[in-house]
């Protein structure tokens, strides 16, 4: 396989994304471009392209998978913001804030439909079956997250299952379908699938850490937004294990709790050892990904995936 220029690949994907989110409907066109223009790391499409380099036949299917997965990811972000009633996403007003709830829901549906339409030309039933099953699981993850809002009695196991469906699954799909699209061996597909799973788990845990340790400017939303939206994440769950009084405070939180109560808890978690403990758990997932990566054949994509893994572990936003 030839060397990959990640910047060129991202530009190619961005160009196709702009084409796919365009619509003759003025409102859908505006809302979809509003979200696309707010940026994004494009982690999922990059992993599709990199994973496709371990097969025997890199073709247009890999790019179709890459663009479709990013559109599905964008759809989940819009629906997330509706459920959480979020005002900001990446430093800009959310669609639900700038327009309204029905428009946001329809935009998410539109992006999902565009993704499925764009990938429909792929003549590989295994890809379609894997993707459709995964979308069902992503929906279940969203439902579990909604049901667990302000549930102070949930366990770390609940949390890990939730983030697996909510975040890890789409990154796992990126590496798995990327490998499948280029006709990789079953063994290689499985290894890349698990690499994506471990990366995805770490990715969400780092997001949950940064929600406490970063800044509003870097996050593009208020610090502690997850907790204020009722999402009890790993740093909080670890801290709850150590202190019964703190656990009781978390269990007493609800949507109408005073801002000062949230602020006090956010400060407590930010200064706690639970942050470093969460980082250690995240790193263990990345170590597992690296271990599996080392079992794959040596090529330029392998080097780039390892660089991405290290960069993701150290990110600050």
Read off the CATH number of the domain in which 78 is found: 1.10.600.10
- Report the number of distinct structural domains present in the chain: 1
Cα–Cα distance measured from residue 68 to residue 119, given in angstroms and rounded to the nearest whole number: 6
Give the 3-state secondary structure of 131-181: HHHHHHHHHHHHHHHHHCCCCCCCCHHHHHHHHHHHHHHHHHHHHHHHHHH
Nearest to residue 76, comparing CAs of 14, 127, 134, 122?
134
Q: Is 274 exposed, middle or buried (0-12, 13-18, 19+ CB in 10 A)?
A: buried
The DSSP letter of residue 295 is: T
Q: What SS3 class is residue 27?
A: helix
Residue 1 placed within a domain: no
| pLDDT score recorded for residue 2 | 62
**pLDDT of 30 above 90:** yes
Average pLDDT over residues 235-261: 96
Least confident range of 88-92, 275-279, 303-307: 88-92
> Which residues constitute the domain of residue 78?
6-314
**pLDDT of 1 above 70:** no
Q: What is the pLDDT of residues 138-193, one digit of tens each?
A: 999 989 888 999 999 999 999 999 999 989 999 999 999 999 999 999 999 999 99
**pLDDT of 242 above 80:** yes
Residue 119 placed within a domain: yes
Residue 214 placed within a domain: yes
Average pLDDT over residues 23-49: 95
């Amino acid at each position: 396989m030839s060397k990959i220029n990640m910047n060129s690949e991202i530009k190619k994907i961005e160009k196709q994304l702009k084409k796919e989110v365009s619509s003759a409907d003025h409102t859908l066109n505006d809302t979809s471009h509003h979200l696309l223009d707010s940026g994004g790391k494009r982690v999922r499409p990059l992993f599709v392209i990199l994973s496709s380099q371990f097969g025997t036949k890199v073709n247009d299917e890999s790019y179709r998978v890459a663009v479709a997965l990013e559109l599905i990811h964008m759809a989940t972000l819009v629906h997330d913001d509706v459920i959480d009633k979020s005002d900001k996403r990446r430093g800009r007003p959310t669609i639900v804030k700038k327009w309204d709830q029905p428009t946001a829901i329809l935009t998410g549906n539109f992006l999902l439909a565009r993704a499925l339409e764009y990938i429909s030309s792929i003549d590989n039933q295994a890809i379609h079956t894997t993707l459709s099953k995964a979308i069902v699981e992503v929906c279940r993850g969203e439902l579990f997250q909604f049901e667990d809002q302000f549930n102070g009695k949930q366990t770390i196991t609940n949390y890990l299952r939730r983030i697996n469906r909510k975040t890890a699954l789409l990154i796992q799909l990126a590496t798995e379908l990327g490998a499948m699209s280029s006709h990789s061996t079953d063994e290689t597909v499985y290894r890349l699938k698990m690499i994506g799973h471990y990366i995805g788990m770490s990715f969400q845990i780092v997001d949950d850490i940064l929600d406490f340790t970063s800044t509003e400017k870097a996050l593009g939303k208020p610090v502690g937004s997850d907790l204020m939206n009722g999402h009890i994440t790993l740093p909080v769950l670890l801290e709850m294990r150590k202190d019964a009084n703190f656990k009781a405070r978390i269990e007493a939180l609800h949507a109408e709790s005073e801002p000062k109560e949230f602020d006090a808890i956010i400060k407590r978690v930010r200064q706690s050892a639970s942050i470093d403990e969460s980082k250690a758990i995240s790193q263990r997932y990345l170590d597992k990904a690296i271990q599996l990566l080392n079992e794959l054949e040596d090529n330029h994509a392998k080097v780039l995936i390892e660089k991405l893994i290290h960069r993701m572990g150290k990110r600050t936003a």
